Amino acid sequence: MNVVMDYKAKSASVDETILYPNYTGQPLNDLVLAVEPNYWQNCFTLKSLDVDGTPLANYTLDGHKLSLQLTQPLASQATVTVHIQYNLALPPLQQQHGVRPQIFGYSQAQMNLTDWYPFVVPNIAGQWVLHDHWYYGEHLVYDAADFEVNLKFTDPANAPVVASSGESSPNGEWTRYTLSAGRTFVISASREYKVFSAQAGNAVIYSYYFPLYDKAAQASLMASVQAMQVYAQRYGTPYSHATFSIVMGDFNDGMEFSGLVFMPHSAYNLYNGTPENLLITVTVHETAHQWWFEQVADDQALQPWLDEAFAAYSEHIFYESVYPNALSWWWAYWPARVGGSASLPSVDISIYDAGGFIPYTNTVYLRGAHFLDDLRSLIGDDAFFAFLQDYLNQENGRIATSASFFRILRTHTQTDFSGLIKEYFKNSY
Ligand SMILES: [Zn+2]
Within a domain: residue 351? yes
CA of 136 to the centre of ligand 1 (A): 12
Average pLDDT, the chain: 96
Among 148-162, 241-255, 357-371, the range scoring the smallest mean pLDDT is: 357-371
State the Cα–Cα distance between residues 187 and 249, nearest whole angstrom: 12
Distances (CA, A) of 277 to 139, 221, 262, 406, 408: 28, 15, 17, 33, 35
Q: Which residues are placed with Cβ below 5 angstroms of ligand 1, an ion? A: 308, 311
CA of 337 to the centre of ligand 1 (A): 13
CA of 223 to the centre of ligand 1 (A): 16
CA of 3 to the centre of ligand 1 (A): 29
Within a domain: residue 396? yes
CA of 285 to the centre of ligand 1 (A): 6
Q: What pLDDT, in 10s, does the model give residues 397-411?
A: 999 999 999 999 999
CA of 29 to the centre of ligand 1 (A): 36
CA of 90 to the centre of ligand 1 (A): 25
CA of 352 to the centre of ligand 1 (A): 17
CA of 1 to the centre of ligand 1 (A): 28
State the Cα–Cα distance between residues 32 and 60, nearest whole angstrom: 10
Q: What pLDDT, in 10s, does the model give residues 33-61?
A: 999 999 999 999 999 999 999 999 999 99
Within a domain: residue 376? yes
pLDDT of residue 195: 98
Q: Three-state SS for 371?
A: helix
CA of 340 to the centre of ligand 1 (A): 18
pLDDT of residue 344: 64
pLDDT of residue 132: 94
Q: Which residues of 79-103 are buried (b: 16+ CB within 10 A; e: fewer)?
A: ebebbbbbbbbbbebebeeeebbbb
Q: Three-state SS for 4?
A: strand
Show the domain range for 347.
305-424
pLDDT of residue 356: 85
CA of 325 to the centre of ligand 1 (A): 23
State the Cα–Cα distance between residues 293 and 309, nearest whole angstrom: 11
CA of 364 to the centre of ligand 1 (A): 10
> Which ranges of 240-326 does DSSP label H, i.e. alpha helix?
265-270, 278-288, 305-322
CA of 257 to the centre of ligand 1 (A): 10
Q: Where does the pLDDT of residue 341 fall: very low under 50, low under 70, confident under 90, or very high at 90 and above?
A: low
CA of 421 to the centre of ligand 1 (A): 22
Straight-line distance from the first to the last Cα atom of the chain, in angstroms, rounded to the nearest whole number? 42
CA of 278 to the centre of ligand 1 (A): 13
Dihedral angle, C-alpha 256, 315, 350, 66, nearest 10 °: 10
State the Cα–Cα distance between residues 106 and 428, nearest whole angstrom: 44
CA of 141 to the centre of ligand 1 (A): 15
| Per-position DSSP letters for 73-131, written without gaps between them | EE-TT-EEEEEEEEEEEPPBPB--TTS--B-SEE-SS-EEESS-S-EEPPEETTEE--P
CA of 361 to the centre of ligand 1 (A): 9
CA of 284 to the centre of ligand 1 (A): 10
CA of 219 to the centre of ligand 1 (A): 20
In degrees and rounded to multiples of 5, residue 257 shows phi and psi of: -140, -175
Within a domain: residue 137? no
Within a domain: residue 280? no
CA of 282 to the centre of ligand 1 (A): 8
Sign of the Cα pseudo-torsion (368, 371, 377, 383, in order) = negative
CA of 46 to the centre of ligand 1 (A): 32
Q: Which residues of 138-165 are buried (b: 16+ CB within 10 A; e: fewer)?
A: bbbbbbbbebebbbebeeeeebbebbbb
The answer to whether 372 and 310 have CB atoms below 8 angstroms apart is: yes
Angle CA 183–189–192, to nearest 5: 145
State the Cα–Cα distance between residues 424 and 293, nearest whole angstrom: 21
Dihedral angle, C-alpha 121, 124, 129, 134, nearest 10 °: -120
Axis-axis angle for helices 305-322, 327-338 (nearest 10): 140
Q: What pLDDT, in 10s, does the model give residues 114-158?
A: 999 999 999 999 999 999 999 888 999 999 999 999 999 999 999
CB atoms closer than 10 angstroms to residue 346: 16
In degrees and rounded to multiples of 5, residue 210 shows phi and psi of: -90, 150
CA of 10 to the centre of ligand 1 (A): 28
CA of 310 to the centre of ligand 1 (A): 8
CA of 311 to the centre of ligand 1 (A): 6
| pLDDT at position 97 over 90 | no
Within a domain: residue 278? no
pLDDT of residue 101: 86
CA of 326 to the centre of ligand 1 (A): 20
| pLDDT at position 96 over 90 | no
State the Cα–Cα distance between residues 68 and 50, nearest whole angstrom: 10
Residues 6+ apart with CB under 8 A from 202: 238, 239, 242
CA of 289 to the centre of ligand 1 (A): 7
CA 166 to chain CA centroid, nearest Å:
14
Residues 6+ apart with CB under 8 A from 87: 11, 12, 13, 14, 44, 45, 47
Q: What pLDDT, in 10s, does the model give residues 197-250?
A: 999 999 999 999 999 999 999 999 999 999 999 999 999 999 999 999 999 999
Number of folded domains in the chain?
Answer: 1
CA of 55 to the centre of ligand 1 (A): 40
CA of 249 to the centre of ligand 1 (A): 15
| CATH (domain of 387) | 1.10.390.10
Instruction: Specify the pairing of strand 2-6 against strand 145-153.
Output: parallel
Within a domain: residue 188? no
Strand order in the sheet with 119-120: 59-62, 65-74, 28-34, 119-120
Q: What pLDDT, in 10s, does the model give residues 173-193?
A: 999 999 999 999 999 999 999
Q: Three-state SS for 210?
A: coil
CA of 84 to the centre of ligand 1 (A): 32
| Rounded CA Rg of the chain | 21
Within a domain: residue 199? no
pLDDT of residue 98: 65
